[in-house]
Amino acid sequence: MNRTSSFNAFTVVNGLFMLLVVLFTLYPFVYLVAQSLSSEAAIYAGKVTFFPVEFTTKTYEVILSKPDFFRYYWNTIVYSVVGTLIAVTATAVMSYPLSKERLRLNKFFIPFVLFTMYFGGGLIPNYILIAKTLGMRDTIWAIVIPGAISAFNVILMKTFFAGIPNELEEAGRVDGLDVFGIFTKIIIPLSKPILVTIMLFVIVGMWNNWFGPSLFLQSKEKWPVALYLKQIIDNAVSPTEIGATSDQASQIAASVKSTAMVLTSLPIICIYPFVQKYFVQGMMIGAVKG
What number is the average pLDDT over the span 215-237? 81
CA pair distance 31, 238, nearest whole angstrom: 22
More confident residue, 7 or 18: 18
User: Is residue 272 within 8 Å of 204, Cβ to Cβ?
Assistant: no
Q: Is the pLDDT of residue 119 over 60?
A: yes
Mean pLDDT of 203-219: 89
Task: Write down the CATH number for the domain with range 58-288.
Answer: 1.10.3720.10
Q: What is the pLDDT of residue 283?
A: 53
| Over residues 130-136, mean pLDDT | 90
The full DSSP string for 226-264 is: HHHHHHHHTTSS-GGGGT--HHHHHHHTTTHHHHHHHHH
User: Average pLDDT, stretch 159-168?
Assistant: 87
pLDDT at 79 over 90: yes
- The reported pLDDT for the residue numbered 90 is 93
Mean pLDDT of the chain: 81
- Which one is predicted more confidently, 15 or 260? 15
Residue 208 has pLDDT above 90, yes or no: no
State yes or no: pLDDT of 88 exceeds 90.
yes
Length of the chain as a residue count: 290
- Enumerate residues 6+ apart whose C-beta is below 8 A from 236: none
Q: Is the pLDDT of residue 288 over 50?
A: no
Lowest mean pLDDT across 74-78, 109-113, 129-133, 265-269: 265-269
Q: Exposure pattern of 213-234 as b/e (b: 16+ CB <10 Å)?
A: bebbbeeeebbbbbbbbbbbbe
Share of the chain above pLDDT 70, in %: 86
Given a cut of 90, whether residue 75 has pLDDT beyond it is yes
Query: Who has greater pLDDT, 53 or 284?
Result: 53
Angle 273-276-281 (CA atoms, 0-180°, nearest 5)?
Answer: 170
Cβ neighbourhood burial of 111 (10 Å; 0-12, 13-18, 19+): exposed
Q: What percent of the chain has pLDDT over 90?
A: 15
Q: Which of 38-42, 122-126, 127-131, 251-255 has the lowest mean pLDDT?
A: 251-255
Q: How far is CA 45 from CA 27, 39, 49, in A?
A: 19, 10, 11
Nearest to 191 by CA among 99, 104, 269, 105: 99
Greater model confidence, 25 or 88: 88
More confident site: 18 or 40: 18
Q: Is 135 exposed, middle or buried (0-12, 13-18, 19+ CB in 10 A)?
A: exposed
Domain ranges in the chain? 2-44, 58-288
Across 40-54, 91-105, 126-140, least confident range? 40-54
In the predicted structure, residue 264 carries a pLDDT above the cut 50: yes
Using pLDDT thresholds of 50, 70 and 90, give the confidence band for residue 89: very high
